[in-house]
Each structure stands twice: as structure tokens, then as C-alpha cells.
Structure 1
């Protein structure tokens, strides 16, 4: 079994993982594992931008309050303040790494001033962007810098299986559970490799693929959350899966996002009758927080019996739309939709997980040696509902804070002296059974969409929980008796995350933020996190 040793092991190659790699590389060897290609991440698909106070008209306090309001009482204010106050410095990091943002245009000429747009829930224009592919621009520039660094080893197509803890290295070790690395499947060869490190960081992104309809990339299966749960880390607030209000509705487009920035520039949501409807749900209209917009769209669709609503951009200048949103404009054209002349059909889809592995503001988990950053972590920034474009910001701030803490303790970090026990698993497989794996995968995702979607009820949640318990037993049997395969690993993880999400939803006897239960419409007096721990649910 191949073995690799490093100072820092980062599982995940998105913005958070790459930013941390760049910050830690001057101190020692960093290994970055990518589940598929290095570019297969949610980060690359992020369109809208990154939020930061960059204008004299804006203020840190305004951004903080907007974040707290969107989070519906569940944000940790100290974390919110920490991240938002350092946002301009993290923007400067990006610029230093070569990232370009669109510049403001005055009188037909480009200035040196960064252009700022506005998105739902924001009081001011504070979203920096690069056309409508901000995440792609950030990720490609970070990746280029990472490739140049001799201390960073990039390993593609390594699917992490499980974290390794000290007890698996030495059964007589009486110290508390400590993470020392992970086992990972090399999907090209089918061989399992061992990765040992002084520090292991989960940067595995979200879990949108737990749902039938999602804006996420195909590998967003909650792997880091499931792995952390299996070694005893606390997991929190998985009931808060944010549904993006506007994904393209077309039979051949399953996960193309229609950025909130279109509404920030004046786009209007209309129903099947052509009526603008958002003002009757919220005074901010189409720029209301995402949870409200998603529920409003869901209600309009159910009330009219329609399959979608529409985003109308036709009142805006056609040349402006083509220049500001080239990717969205061209993609819509591929599906026969000219956004400059006709409204875009849209529906909500699972987009961003506000819960995750419980960490402090620096990404530190309950398990010594294990950290979590970016969407994988539940830091307290987002609370019960993420404010638009705070996600890329969190990737950068958690990576920075984590790097600062690791720097302070660098000389005290030690690696284990002996190797973990060899990976042991059945080598025989029955290819005919893979069709059952696919069927269970689809069943979980459809079940979550129907029973754990935008609007929930106790009965639906209880039915989902009952079925998921049976599925988990089936998954355990397949995992234990079949040769290891990426499809089985992902099925195992989405089954666990789905089950924990439903458990969190059942424990929350209220409606708050993204979580909306028709049997508990009021908020409880005291906001609280929903925390689950292995063996205690």
C-alpha cells in the first residue's frame, strides 16, 4: 500500500483548500487531494462574486448587520465580525495572487476602481466580481500559483475513504482521539493509499448532491462531514441547506445557476402570468434574502400549478447584459433562450449547506489534528441562512485563520512515528450489484427533495427518517462486502448526511431561516444550534 507523509494534508482542491496550501507551503510540505480533477469544485462554478466592504458609502457594521439579519438569529456575532472586518485584506490576497475583478466603467471608459454590484439581503453594492464567473477566475489563479510551489504536491482522482485516528495506529494509545491522516482510493487504479500528516484539513465543500436538484458539481456528496462524523466530531445545523432561488429550468440543464447578481442589476421575478410577485412577500422584492425568495417561488409554483417561474431581464440594455453576464447569456442561448429578449425560466435548487463540521472561527474541530474550512465547516458565519456572496469570503477567511493558528503551533506539531495498519477490505465484487447502488443513490436524492425540501412537515420528515434507516443498513452491507468503489463511497456518505440532516430537522421545533416546517411555524425564544454526535443520536 503506497504511503505518503506530509506536514499538512488538505482534502479538497477548492478555493479554501488552495488558499490554505499557499499560506502553509512556506513552512513545510503540503499535500492536496482532489476527488476528481483539480478543477472539479463548487468554487469554479460560483458566478456572483465575493462580498467585502470596499466603498466609502458602505461600512463594516452594515455588512455585519446584513449577515446577522440573513442568519435569522443563529450567527455567531464574534465570527461574523472577525470575517467581515478582515475581508478587504483577503481581497488584497487575491489581487496579490493575480486575481482580476471587473473595473467600474464611467462614460464608456474603464477606471481603476473595482466595480461593485448588489445582491439579495445586502444594503449596499459590495460584491466584487469578474463577469459572471468570479469563482472560476479566483480558482484558476490560485491553482496556477499552487502549481508553481515546490512544497505543494497536487494529487488528482483520490477519493478520501476515512480519516485515520491514533487508535488505528496504536491500539494501546490512551491519548484522546487524534486525527493523523486518511485513507484514499486512487480511482484510476483502484488502489488504496495511506496519507499521514501532522495536520489534516477537510476542505471537501458541500453536500448539494444529497438532493435531486442542485446547482453543485457531481462530487458534492458531503464527504468531509460524513468522515468527521464517523470519527466522533460534532456536526451541526444540517437542516439548513440553502436552496438557490434561480437555477435554469430546462430539460437538458440540470444544474446551471442563474446568478443572484442578475437581480442585483435590476432583474425581476415574474410568475407564469407575467406578474411580478416578490413585493407581496417581502419589501425588498426580488432582492429579499434567499430563503424568502426560494419559498416565495415555491409557493407561486404550487399556487399556479406551474413548473417554474421566470427572471425578466428584458428591461435592461442588451449590450450591458452580454458584457456583464457573458457565460449566462451564452449558456441560455445554447438552450434557445435569449435573455435580452425573453424571461429566463428558473426554479429553486439545493445550493449551499450552512451547517457542517463544528469548528471555531479558525477551523479547529473537536478532534485534535483535524481542521475544517470553507463550506465543510459550520463556523457560525451563516447561521440559519447564508447572505449572498459570503461563501467565497468564508473560504478565504477560514483558510487564513487556520494558517495563522497552525503557524503559532508549528514547532509543536509532531507526526506519528509508525505507519497506520494496512487498509483491509473485500477484493471481490459483483458488478451486477452496481445497479442497486445507483438505485439507492437516486432514491435518497428524490426522498430528500420530496420530504426534506423547501417546505417541510413532521410527517414527511418522519417518513424520510424511517426509510433512511433502512437504506443505511443496506449501504453498510454493500460497503462491508463489496470491493471498494467511488460510487459506494459516495453513496455511504450521502446516506449518512441525509440521515443526519433529517435528524437535525426533526429536532428543530420551529421555523427559522432556511428551515421551514408547517407544523412549527413560529421561532423558539432562544436560538440554538442542532448538534449531532456519533452514538448520541
Structure 2
């Protein structure tokens, strides 16, 4: 039962406390805002695990136009060029803003920002902090600024269960903490909940990242876009640890090469080699693993004894697994890492539901298209957060006490779904596997167990993947290996998804008779 209604004066509620949520809250100051975090701030957030950094054209040999060209090429025909241009042009100023907040970005001896190179970038444009701990250091900077900002109310250990909708718009948030459920009346909600990696067995994301914001948005009636595009980072440390430690693309940017168990470099003849786009590299490694070979990232020649100084967090993770990367190759395998799809939003982060905005990985802005360019994710979050905050802050706070449901769903648990999702929605997919996944996920999605919301998200992604009968970017269908004639974004709502799922289940039952 809903135990209480908390009067927050109609203040905006931000659901999610990673980089996207924190930057949005800071841009809203001095307007009051309520920030919800499922866990204590700084724990279980994808942002703190980010190693690669932020891509921005701040080098003397670089420009937003070059950054845009690389972004569009990686997106494989599905980027929104207008939105991508707007983002890349905003990034140098966004970096300056973070520096003013105190972000400790790495610098060369001459005091200029030290810029790294990552896959599919034509220039060194990746800004790092503490070598391979950019997300952690950026989060610390933002959290310190949040703590200094009195207009921001932080509610930790709180899970948003449902968005309450009346007359086509948001009127409140139903939430839960250990003491019970409560409601926050508001007409302005920002989703900043991160990605979906926790649906997979092999992931670099916190295991609780199951697409929480997608479930909230879908149940509120919002339109979702491009859900089929899931990026698998090619080089996660191949060990039992979950989430899997990431071996940053920056290691390959410094010259490390991928080899099989016999020491053969299998990407040497591929355009871009180890720095080809992530979908190309991930599929190449997957093919090696499928035939029983192991894959290693060899940094001995390019870094050797300098490895620990250049990549201290990766070095520590390797040593914890019993590997010394200075003298041994690092075993790697692809892992679910980033979701290009999400809540469909406009240039200001507004969804199709009045009063609902989204920022960060939970969105589909059109920047990434079918394949994210390395280190464009944190960059997108800090650039678009300013626009989201301006839109939210410029919207009337008028609100009313909503009529609330007597109870919400259980706290979500994606663990029962991981094998189904990993089998059907991995690096290489096919129609038969996707149809089987939809049939298995539908009863879970409509059930009343803790797996219902994760099951709903997994079903939505499966249907989107089934509907895209081509191979493009990170979405590869073995039964449709070629590209389609036109690059069309895919849109989905909960209603159309259930119609598709029921139809597929009916067809399956007819065939079995």
C-alpha cells in the first residue's frame, strides 16, 4: 500500500544519479529539484566505471566537423545529423564547464589537455582523468558540486516503481524504499537511469542496469526508438568477475594488438585493424571464440612496464585475475556495454509524454545511430543535460495531488532472464532465436514477479530486433546479413510491442498444432 504522499512543491524529479542525472540537477540550480538514487550515491552506477573518457574536438588539429564525420561513419546511416552536429559543437564548451567545476582532466607537460585515441576516431580527441578512471573522477567532481548545492534534495536508497500518468501527462512518481512505498506529486520527471547491460550474462555494466528507465517510460506510454542496437565492447577482461572489468579501447589506441591463442594477429588485414568500429572488432573476436579459440590483447610491445602507470585501474583488475599485463597478454571477450536505443526524445530531451524528459544512455537522441563512436556517451550526457535542464526549468510547475495506485510492482530482478537474453540478443542474432525469446519473455513481462519489468524491457528489445530484417551497425542478423535499402529508425510503444508479441505467440501455437 502507498503509505504517504510527500509534498515537494511540484519540483522536478530526476530518476537516476549517474553523470547525466547529476549534471542535469546542477544545471537546474537554483531551482529546487529532487534526485532519486536506487543505491547510495556513487555505487552501482555505470558512470563511475567509464574508463574511456569524453570525446571533444579540443585539439589543434581537430574540429567539430571532423568529430561529426567520425560519429556519422560509426552510426552506419542511422544518426540524426542535425542532432549530432549540435552535440559535437557543444562539447568543447561542456569540457570547459567541467574544468570550472574542478574536473581533474589529465594534462601534458605543457599544461594542455592530454588527448587519447580510440577506435574509429580520426584524431586524438579523448579527454581522460586519472588515466583510465575518467568516470570515477568526473563523478567525484560532480558529487562535490551537488553536495554544495542546497537546491538539490537527494533521496538515496529509493527505487522509482511507476510514473503516474493522468490525462496524457505525468502527475507523479510512485517510489519505494525499505520502509515502504510513497508518492512524489510532480508534473516534471527526468529519466537518467542508464543502460541495459545487466540483462546479459557478460556485461561491463552494474548488474542492476536492466533498462529501468525504459520500463518506466514504456508503462507511461512513451515512444521508444532503436532498441535493437546494443553495443558490445570488444575487450572486457575474460574472467569470472561480474560486472566484467573493462579493458579500455585506449589500450588499443596506444598500440596494443589482438591475437589468438597462437599469437596470430587476426585483425591485421581488416580496415582500421584493432581500431575499427566496435561492432567490427566485437564480431571478429566472437568468431574466434565460437570456433574454440581464446583471444588476448597484447600490450607488451607498445606499453610493457609503462602499463601500470598509464592504466592503473586496468592493471589492478588484471593483477587481481592473476595477470601481469606488462609481461603477459590479457584474455578478453566482448561484453554488453552500451545501448544506442532508448526513450525517443527531441532536441531538448522531451519524450512523447507530456512532463517526461530523458537524458543520457536511457535516451535515443539520434547521436549514436546504429553504433556508438567510442567516448561519445559521457560526452553526450554532459552536453544534452544543459538542454534538458533548460527545457524542464522553463516549464510551468503547476501540479495537483494525483490519484495514485494502491501498490506498485516488486523491486526488479533481471537475473532469471540473463540466459534467454544472452542467447537471443547477442552479437549475432537470428529470427528463430528472437521469436523464441519473445515467446519466453511475454508471460514474464505480464506477470507479477520481480522479473516482470526486466522481462518487459528484454521483450521490447527482442521485438525491435526481430522487426529489423537487416544487418546494420551493432545489430547483426545471420538470416539477414545484408543492409537494407534505406536506413530507417525504428519506433515502438508498449501497445504495439504487446500486439507483436501476442501475434508471434499465436503464430507459434498455430504451427505447433
Provide the residue aligned with 2:503 in structure 1: none
> How far apart are the structure 1 equivalents of 2:330 and 2:7?
49
Following superposition, the deviation at residue 477 of structure 1 comes to 3.5
Match of 1:101 among 91, 102, 105: 105
Residues 8 and 30, structure 1, Cα contact 8 Å, conserved in 2: yes
Which of residues 209, 214, 223 in structure 2 aligns to 1:220? 209
Whether 1:285 and 2:273 are equivalent positions in the alignment is: yes
- CA deviation vs aligned residue, 1:376-429 (integer Å, no higher than 9, x gap): 10000000000000000111111011123234x34xx03323x223441399x9
Are 1:24 and 1:30, in contact at CA under 8 Å, matched by a contact in 2? Answer: yes
How far off its partner does 1:111 sit? 2.3
Aligned residues: 491
Match of 2:407 in 1: 425
1:266 aligns with 2:255: yes
**1:330 equivalenced with 2:316 (yes/no):** yes
Q: For residue 224 of structure 1, report the CA deviation from its aligned partner.
A: 0.7
Question: 5+ unaligned residues in a row in structure 2: which ranges?
Answer: 498-513
Question: 2:239 & 2:495 partners in 1: Cα distance?
Answer: 43
* Matched ranges for 1:58-73 at <5 A: 58-73=62-77
**Structure 1 residues 25 and 378, CA, compared in 2 at 3 Å: closer, same or farther?**
same
Q: Equivalent residue for 1:199?
A: 188
| Corresponding residue SS for 2:12 | strand
Equivalent residue number for residue 504 of structure 1: 464
Q: For residue 57 of structure 2, what is the aligned residue in structure 1?
A: 53
Alpha-carbon distance, 1:39 to partner: 0.7
Q: Report the RMSD for the aligned CA atoms in angstroms.
A: 1.7
Among 515, 518, 525, the residue aligned to 2:485: 525
Structure 2 counterpart of 1:515, from 461, 475, 478 = 475
2:441 partner SS: helix
Distance 1:218 1:509 in 2: 30
- Counterpart CA distance in 2 for 1:383 and 1:461 is 22
Kindly indicate whether the alpha-carbon contact (under 8 Å) linking 2:205 and 2:243 is maintained by their aligned counterparts in 1.
no
Q: Paired residue for 1:485?
A: none
Give SS of 1:360's match: coil
User: Which position in structure 1 is the counterpart of 2:150?
Assistant: 150
Q: More deviation in 294-303 or 117-126?
A: 294-303
Q: Is the 8 A contact 1:316 1:340 kept in 2?
A: no
Alignment map for 1:130-169 (pairs within 5 Å): 130=129, 131-165=131-165, 167=166
Q: Is the 8 A contact 1:192 1:423 kept in 2?
A: no
- Superposed, 1:361-400 pairs within 5 Å as 361-400=347-386
Match for residue 470 of structure 1 among 443, 452, 459: 443
User: Which whole-Å CA distance do the structure 2 matches of 1:426 and 1:215 have between them?
Assistant: 29
1:448 aligns with 2:421: yes
Q: State the 1:255 CA deviation.
A: 1.6
Contact 2:172 2:402 in 1 (8 A): no
C-alpha displacement at 1:343, in angstroms? 0.5
- Alignment of 1:457 onto 2:430: yes
Q: Deviations over 1:302-327 (max 9, x none)?
A: 23x13x41000101244432211011
Structure 2 residue aligned with 1:77: 81
| Match 1:183 to one of 146, 157, 174 | 174
Q: Structure 1: how far apart are the matches of 2:404 and 2:201?
A: 36
Hey, what does 1:171 align to over in structure 2? none
- The match for 1:255 is 244
Q: Is the CA contact (8 Å cut-off) linking 1:205 and 1:375 kept in structure 2?
A: yes
Matched residues in 1 for 2:278 and 2:341: separation? Answer: 16
| Contact 2:194–2:362 (Cα < 8 Å) also in 1 | yes
* CA distance in 1 between partners of 2:154 and 2:464 (Å): 36
The residue that corresponds to 1:119 in the other structure is 118
For structure 1, the residue ranges without an aligned partner over 5 or more in a row are 105-109, 168-175, 479-487
Task: Work out whether 1:129 is the aligned partner of 2:128.
Answer: yes
Q: 1:246 to 1:518 in 2, by over 3 A?
A: same
**What CA deviation, in whole Å up to 9, does each residue of 1:53-105 have, x standing for no partner?**
0112112111101000100000000000000001000001100111011111x
Decide which of 297, 303, 310 is 2:285's aligned counterpart: 297
**TM-score where L is the length of structure 2:** 0.93
